[in-house]
Amino acid sequence: MGILQGKRILVSGVLTDASIAFSVAKLAQQEGATLVLTGFGRMSLVERIAKRLPETPPVIELDVQNNEHLDTLADRIGEHVDGLDGVVHSIAFAPQSALGGNFLNTTWEDVATAMHISTYSYKSLAVACLPLMKEGGAVVGLDFDASKAWPVYDWMGVAKAGLESCNRYLARDLAKHNIRVNLVAAGPLRTMAAKSIPGFKEFEDSWPERAPLGWDLSDTVPAAKACVALMSDWFPATTGEIVHVDGGAHAIGA
């Protein structure tokens, strides 16, 4: 009996097997969950990656900027499972102009794109799944500590600060549905998303030294375990929280 035995979980953002979302999906299945995945853009790639899981789950297309996709999401998920107990939001994107030290020159159009996909979609996904969460459950989002202005992170840092605020408001408004809402703030990892950040090597060089527990930039499992735990029944009274899984770096001064 795993800690997610009998639970139905939606995981977004599985693009490669090096992603946190993939590790969440794999661990969730190992802990007894039934999975549905969402993907965007390169659907054939997502479907191929899904076959690397212990059991191949259904994959549904979801563009979080597409209202039709969001409006029909519950019905499309309902073709595979009769409800949801957990939702994992692992969706973020910013145009290159919004990263890499270009903060003062980024246009509103590019900032708006980053905020829509990386921040507003947290609410959009939760609301789209709400009809399937009649018995309550948990929403978990993936975060990167937004309490500081990081080198090169720029408008994505602003988007993550918005995500952390959104997390609190969602926790407030979904509590009446018995839905817990929490974030996992992972340390830097060598995912595809990280590779798109100009100057990411600054994090790679400094983080393992700053973290009192050390930090493995290629190990997505610790963050995934936190996500799985938060979706389980072992955190029945925790909501609006940010759980840091970063080797303790957030707690230590520079």
Catalytic residue among 160, 169, 176, 201: 160
Percent of the chain scoring above 70 in pLDDT: 95
pTM of the full structure: 0.95
Question: Among residues 26, 153, 176, 225, which one is catalytic?
Answer: 153
pLDDT at residue 251 tops 90: yes
Greatest Cα pair distance in the chain: 53
Please calculate the CA angle 57-58-62 and round it to the nearest 5 degrees: 125
User: What is the C-alpha to C-alpha distance for residues 13 and 220, in angstroms, rounded to an integer?
Assistant: 14
Ramachandran angles phi, psi of 86, nearest 5°: -155, 145
Query: What local confidence, expressed as pLDDT, does residue 190 receive?
Result: 78
The pLDDT, as a whole number, for residue 86 is 98
Residue 31's CB: how many other CB atoms inside 10 A? 19
Instruction: Give the best-scoring range by mean pLDDT among 37-46, 101-110, 204-213.
Output: 101-110
Q: Is 26 a catalytic residue?
A: no
Q: What is the pLDDT of residue 108?
A: 98
**Which pLDDT score, from 0 to 100, does residue 205 have?**
74
Predicted pLDDT of residue 11 = 98
Query: What is the model's pLDDT at position 253?
Result: 72
According to the model, what pLDDT value does residue 207 have? 87
Instruction: Evaluate whether 155 touches 103 at the Cβ level (below 8 Å).
Output: yes
- On the question of pLDDT at 254 being above 70, the answer is no
pLDDT score, position 74: 98
Q: Please give the pLDDT value at position 95.
A: 94
pLDDT in tens, 181-227: 999 999 998 776 666 666 667 777 788 889 999 999 999 999 999 99
Give, in degrees to the nearest 5, the angle at Cα 171 between 110 and 169: 45
Please say if 153 is a catalytic residue.
yes
What separation in angstroms does the CA of 116 have from each of 26, 101, 247? 28, 21, 30
